[in-house]
Structure formats: C-alpha cells, structure tokens
Amino acid sequence: MGTSCHYHSGADAIWQCTGCRKDYCGDCVPGSVDNYYKSTPKCTLCNNRLENVGASNKAKPFWQMASFYFRYALTSGPLTVSAICAVAALAMTGLGLLSIFVFVATLAVVMRYNLLVIEKLAGGQLEAPTFGDAQDGRSAAVFAKVIGMILVAGGAGALFAGLGESAVQVYSIALSLLAPAAMIVLALEHSMRAAINPLKLLQFTLIIGWPYWLLWLSTSAVSAAPAYLLPVVADKLPVWMLLPLLAFLTSYFSIVTSAMMGYICLTRQRKLGVVAQVEDEEFLEELEFSRRKALADAGILLREGRHDEARKALVNVLRQQPDDIALNERYFRLLLATDDKKALRELGPHLLERFIKLNHAHKAAELYLALSSSHGAPAIDKSLLRHQIAEALYRQGQFKPALGLINNLHKEDPHYTRLDSAYLLLAKIYMDGFNRTDNSRKLLAFVRKQFPKSQVMGEVRKLEKILAVEQSAQPA
C-alpha cells in the first residue's frame, strides 16, 4: 500500500518534502510543475523543494505485475527492436564476414535499448521508449562497457580458477546472482566501474531486499524461455525462419527481463536515489492556480496552527478574486477556527452578505448557523440581509434561528421596503416550524390589510385557503 497524503489520508502522496518529510497529494500541490517558479514546487511549511514520488508511491509490488512485463515488451518500441533483430539475423546468413559487423551493431542497439528500458521504468515512465529514443549515440559506448564488464568478469574468473574448482563454483554462483544488479547499476549510473564494484552490487541487493532474489529467479527463467520454445516450433517452420525467430524471441524476452529490473527499481525509487520523472498534473491558468494554491496553503497552515500565515495566504488572493465562493468560505471558517471575535463581529455580516449577492444564500445560512453555535447570533444591522438569511434558513428547516432573525424586524425597521414579504415568511415559519396557525392567520390578515397591492398577495391567499381547510377539518 502506498504512502498517503499527510493532510488527506484518502489520497496517495505525489510529492514529498526533503526538509520536513511531509507527504502531499495533488490537492496540496495543485497544478503542473510549470505553474511554479523554475518548475520547482516547494513545501508550504519549510520552503524546501519537493520531490515527485507519485509513480513509485502508486507502484504495486514487483510480484503482482507479471502480466505487465510481457505486455510491455509487446508495445511498438520493443517490437520494433525485436523485429530489427529478426531482420538482421536473416540478413547475416548471406553477408559472410560482414555478418560479424551486423551482429555487433545489432547487439549494441539491443543492449542500449534494454538499459534505456531499465532507466525509464526506474524513473516512473511506464510506457516503453520508442526505438528512436535509444538512438542517442550511446550504443557504442554502452556496448564497450558491457564488453568491458564481461572481460573483467572473465579475468576475475581466471584468478579464481587458480584457487581450485570449489572457488570457481562459488564465483560462478555469485556472478549469476549479481548479474541483474550489475545491469541495473550500469543502466542507472552509466558507470562500468560502479557496475563491477562488488560492494556496490551488494548494497543494491540489500536496498531491494528479498524481492531481488525473486527478480533473479524470474529473469533466469524468462531468459531461458527461447531455448525451450524454439524446439517446440522447429519442426513446423522452414529452416530459414529459425534463426530470425530465435533472434526475435531472444530480444523479446530480454526486454521482458529489463522491464522486470526497471520496475523493481521503481518500487524502491527513493531508497535507490533514482531521479523520478515527474507525474505532472494539468497546467492551470494564473487565476485558477492562485486560487487553488491559496486554498491548499491555508488548509495546511491552519492544520499546523500557523493561523496568521494561513490568513495572509487567503487575503492576498481574495484581493484579486473577492467574489470567489471557496476562498470566502475558507476565510470565514478560518476566522471561526481561530476564534477571532473582533474579525467575526466586523467582517462576519459583510462576508454573509457577499454569499447572498453571489447567489449562495444556502452557504450564508450554513455559515450563520456555524457562527451562532460558537459565538452566539451575530448582530446584523441590515434588514434585507436578515430577511434573506432567514429565508435560506427556513428552506433548510432551521425554523428557530430563522424566527430569531426576522421576528422583530417590523419593530426595528418599520420602513423596511419588503415588510410584506417578511411578514409572509414569518407566517410560514410559525405554520411549518411551530404549528402556530393562529399567529400565521394574524400575520396573513395584516399583510392583506396593510399591503393590498403587494406582489405576495397570491401566495397569501393560497396559505389562507390551506389554513381554512385545516381549521374546518378540526373537530368542533
């Protein structure tokens, strides 16, 4: 199971801080690397650069990916390499001495491609490289290093031969066991010296742990596959096809083993110090990025108790985007969480009014309730705002706080231009929330008398009919 985000336990970590060792998901570090200065996201808490660990964190254990390795070698890049090997094998039969050069050139290409597979998979690139990716001018150098490794291994074997047969056997076993490690180290560090260093290879196997020995068993079995498959089809194919087929199968299974080596490095990417290829998210436009970054930073800083920094992060972006709902809500909840009584008293009604103007009356009602439960009902001196919040509370079934907001509105602001609508709302609250139909009738009668030309008269008559039916249904 991968590492979870430190702040969102249900999300996989994509970034890790090299300073405070915190793990972050894509919500904590929004956008693409191109959204950040010098394409380097930094930790909100300590400002150290973040390392992308997305691919390695999501990687399944090596032994659960068996089908992946064989499918990987059947994609366009690997199949192109295998096909070239088959064609080269077919061509060599009629080239005489030139066939040696063709063989060496083909072998160099295959080795370069296989090492590139290991390197790319270890870095987190799950798609096979194209054949063109391997044509970077390093095939000859890679081939020379592999030949050098073979010569060093042979020379060491000759030295052990002088110590007796038992020493040779021990050396052969060790050589076989460390061969995958040597190829991986060569692929990752591009150094023959590192690839033939026994201590380096032993350290590598210790970092990988017991899965390395499963890798050794798997690569040994897969590498032997062509020798077992060719005799099965030898009697069914023309003789001229056998050598190309052997070349194709050998190349295919070598890429399978390289995919195994690369993937096992991916599962230990951080421990091996492999530079990860960034698992990038979608690039965000400047305003959207600023918005998401402020929300993410404020959430992290608030969780860490750094309230002033969280508030500053939000305020800076709110100045640019004052009508953003998410930013305003996060700012309001930050004031609640920090128990900033002065700011809530001064800014609370203003923020609630902003939600109303942005057609989010339900959010204003929700935050009004949150504020009331922790600090008592706030003083709202604007009659229209009280009316609008009360209406939203009524729709949510919050009858008591709705009544508290609007009950004495006619006394406190007798000149309020929407008293007819306010009285109608009050009648609904008494009827639906408290079953006080007597109060509702009085309020409706008052609206009929005082506001005969009101636009709410249609609804008043409808409610009066409902109350009349209910009254007639009651026993005498």
The model's pLDDT over 303-315, given as tens digits with 9 standing for 90+, comes to 999 999 999 999 9
- Of 212, 246, 266, the one marking the end of a domain is 266
Examine the domain organization and report whether 14 and 107 are in the same domain.
no
Q: Is 208 exposed, middle or buried (0-12, 13-18, 19+ CB in 10 A)?
A: buried
- 116: in domain: yes
Tell me the pLDDT band of 475, cut-offs 50, 70 and 90. low
Examine the domain organization and report whether 68 and 179 are in the same domain.
yes
Mean pLDDT of 378-403: 92
- Encode pLDDT of 449-471 as tens digits: 999 899 999 999 999 898 888 77
Beta-carbon contacts of residue 45 (< 8 Å; ≥ 6 apart): 17, 20, 22, 300, 301, 304, 306
Number of H helices, E strands in the chain: 24, 3
Examine the domain organization and report whether 86 and 35 are in the same domain.
no
- 380: in domain: yes
pLDDT at position 302: 92
Please give the residue range of the domain that contains residue 229: 64-266
Phi, psi (rounded to 5 degrees) for 42:
-125, 155
Q: Compute CA 294 distance to the chain's CA centroid, rounded to the nearest angstrom.
A: 18
pLDDT at position 97: 67
The amino acid present at 387, given as its one-letter code, is H
* DSSP codes joined into one string, 187-205: HHH--HHHHT-HHHHHHHH
Examine the domain organization and report whether 177 and 106 are in the same domain.
yes
Percent of the chain surpassing pLDDT 90: 52
- 275: in domain: no
Examine the domain organization and report whether 407 and 446 are in the same domain.
no
**Torsion angle (degrees, nearest 10) of CA 258, 262, 264, 268:** 160
Examine the domain organization and report whether 141 and 219 are in the same domain.
yes
pLDDT at position 444: 92
Tell me the pLDDT band of 280, cut-offs 50, 70 and 90. low
Examine the domain organization and report whether 237 and 98 are in the same domain.
yes
3-class secondary structure, 42: strand
Examine the domain organization and report whether 33 and 170 are in the same domain.
no
**CA atoms of 173 and 177, how far apart (whole Å):** 6
C-beta separation of 48 from 17 below 8 A: yes
- Of 233, 266, 299, the one marking the end of a domain is 266
**CA atoms of 89 and 245, how far apart (whole Å):** 9
- Of 44, 59, 74, the one marking the end of a domain is 59
Examine the domain organization and report whether 372 and 437 are in the same domain.
no
- 2: in domain: yes
Examine the domain organization and report whether 28 and 112 are in the same domain.
no
- 315: in domain: no
At 102, which helix (H) or strand (E)? helix 98-123
- 132: in domain: yes
- 304: in domain: no
Task: Tell which wins on pLDDT, 93 or 192.
Answer: 192
Number of domains present in the structure of the chain: 4
- Encode pLDDT of 316-363 as tens digits: 999 999 999 999 999 999 998 888 888 888 888 999 999 999 999 999
- 318: in domain: no
3-class secondary structure, 293: helix
The amino acid present at 417, given as its one-letter code, is T
* DSSP codes joined into one string, 365-410: HHHHHHHHHHH-SPP---HHHHHHHHHHHHHTT-HHHHHHHHTTHH
Beta-carbon contacts of residue 188 (< 8 Å; ≥ 6 apart): 118, 119, 122, 265, 272, 274
pLDDT at position 476: 53
pLDDT at position 2: 67
pLDDT at position 403: 93
Examine the domain organization and report whether 213 and 84 are in the same domain.
yes
Mean pLDDT over the full length of the chain: 89
Asked if residue 396 has pLDDT above 90, the reply is yes
Examine the domain organization and report whether 137 and 195 are in the same domain.
yes
pTM exceeds 0.75 = no
- Encode pLDDT of 58-89 as tens digits: 788 888 899 999 999 999 999 999 999 999 88
